[in-house]
Amino acid sequence: MKKETRSFVFLCLLMFSAWSVRAGVEDSTVKKPRAVGIFPVPALGYSPETRWYAGAVALFDLRFLQKDSLSRVSSAKAEINYTQNRQLIAEIQWNAFSREGRWYHEGLLGYRKFPELFWGIGAHTPDSLEERYSAKRIELDIRSLKALTPNSFLGLRFRMQDMFGMEVKQGGLLDSAGLSGADGAFSLGVGPAFLYDTRQNALNPQQGMFVSLSTLHFSKGWGSSYSFSRLEADTRTYLKWKKTIWAFQAYAMLQSGTPPFRMMALMGSDREMRGYYQGRYRDQNQLALQAEWRVPVKWGLGFVLFGGAGEVFSWNEPYRTDVFKYTTGGGLRVRVDKKGQVNMRFDYAVGHQTSGFYVAFAEAF
């Protein structure tokens, strides 16, 4: 895709993302003043992908003052970090309900200069294949949804990833395997999205249910380097038992066509299948389950125990239970924003021949 066309498409989506946030705020303040809580703090974290990172983060608690019981907590986060692996991460996320919940706007806009590790494609790749590559990446993910009922929403999702500036090992896997996106790729997808959400606080859910469904089509016709389609489903349930919380999540990503290797299903992150380097196993599709038991203690402290299982697979090699990956671990929670009920989490997870330590804001799911 030509640089000028790519820049124009990105600019259009950026303008749309700005409109989506503005629409949520304007609609929320038609008759009432608004309260915006800002919680700026130094950022410090750790994950297997970055090792230690440091920077600055601002959490925005967008509590709109209104009397009706439909008011929910809307939030945003702006963060910039530099990592021990010499990676630059700049990211803005938002999660905004409009007045009386008539609209829901969710988005992520980020830039990453990000050396990463790659082991090939599939669920059986050995550790010996590990190689490092470097690339720059711009990502945009937006959902703008209209309420069908007080808790269900229907609308559109836009997903964009521009991966460029590739530096790969000469004669290595990415250089010689002929993988899609090995020399960079632009992906632009659009499709319908559905959301059912009865949570009150997305940063620290304590009860309710969350169901997110979307289908995206990425076409060369509107600028994508490759054509492929994606179905994504994310279901979460939160149950209170005495003073503790049980959280459950089921996640699925199913794709057809030719997704670039960085748009494939990537197992592992600080939010799902903890303990695995993100992308340690990657393929067309992924299924994953996880559960977490959250126990508050005192003085803003608490602990969690969690476990999960999942796998990546392709349509040529169907899903197999004998290569199912697992993860289990625990962590500490420290309340850093009492009003917004935001925790900082310290998690340690163990998986199949792997482990990982994580320090991050907000709950994993």
CB 113 within 8 Å of CB 133:
no
| Local confidence band at 333 (pLDDT 50, 70, 90 cut-offs) | very high
DSSP state of 220: G
Residue 62: is it exposed, middle or buried by C-beta count within 10 angstroms (0-12/13-18/19+)? Answer: buried
β-strand partners of 222:
none
pLDDT at site 26: 44
pLDDT at site 352: 86
Read off the pLDDT of residues 215-255 as tens digits, 9 standing for 90 and up.
999 999 989 999 999 999 999 999 998 889 999 999 999 99
Q: How far apart are CA 295 and CA 245, in angstroms?
A: 7
Q: How far apart are CA 271 and CA 278, in angstroms?
A: 10
Collapsing DSSP to helix, strand or coil, 204 comes out as coil
Position 32 pLDDT exceeds 80: no
Position 321 pLDDT exceeds 70: no
Range of the domain at 200: 3-361
| Local confidence band at 38 (pLDDT 50, 70, 90 cut-offs) | low
Question: Average pLDDT, stretch 55-61?
Answer: 80
Q: How far apart are CA 244 and CA 40, in angstroms?
A: 29
DSSP state of 173: H
The CATH number of the domain holding residue 89 is 2.40.160.50
DSSP state of 270: S
Q: How far apart are CA 64 and CA 32, in angstroms?
A: 8
CB 160 within 8 Å of CB 188:
yes
Sign for the pseudo-dihedral over CA of 292, 208, 236, 74:
negative
Write the DSSP assignment of 97-141 as a string of letters: E-GGGSEEEEEEEEEEE--EEE--SBS---GGG-EEEEEEEEEEE
CB 52 within 8 Å of CB 360:
no
Position 130 pLDDT exceeds 60: yes
Residue type, 10: F
As given in the structure block, the two tokens for residue 230 are 């994606």
Q: How far apart are CA 47 and CA 286, in angstroms?
A: 21
Residue type, 352: H
Above pLDDT 70, what percent of the chain? 83
As given in the structure block, the two tokens for residue 14 are 């950026």
pLDDT at site 24: 46
β-strand partners of 58:
40, 78
Alpha carbon distance, N-terminus to C-terminus of the chain: 35
The total number of residues written for the chain in this structure: 365
CB 227 within 8 Å of CB 205:
no
Above pLDDT 90, what percent of the chain? 56
Enclosing H/E stretch for 40: strand 34-47
| Local confidence band at 305 (pLDDT 50, 70, 90 cut-offs) | very high
Question: Average pLDDT, stretch 146-175?
Answer: 92
Question: Average pLDDT, stretch 12-41?
Answer: 50
pLDDT at site 341: 78
Residue 271: is it exposed, middle or buried by C-beta count within 10 angstroms (0-12/13-18/19+)? Answer: middle
β-strand partners of 117:
132
Domain count, the chain: 1
Residue type, 296: P
β-strand partners of 253:
232, 286
As given in the structure block, the two tokens for residue 290 are 């996880």
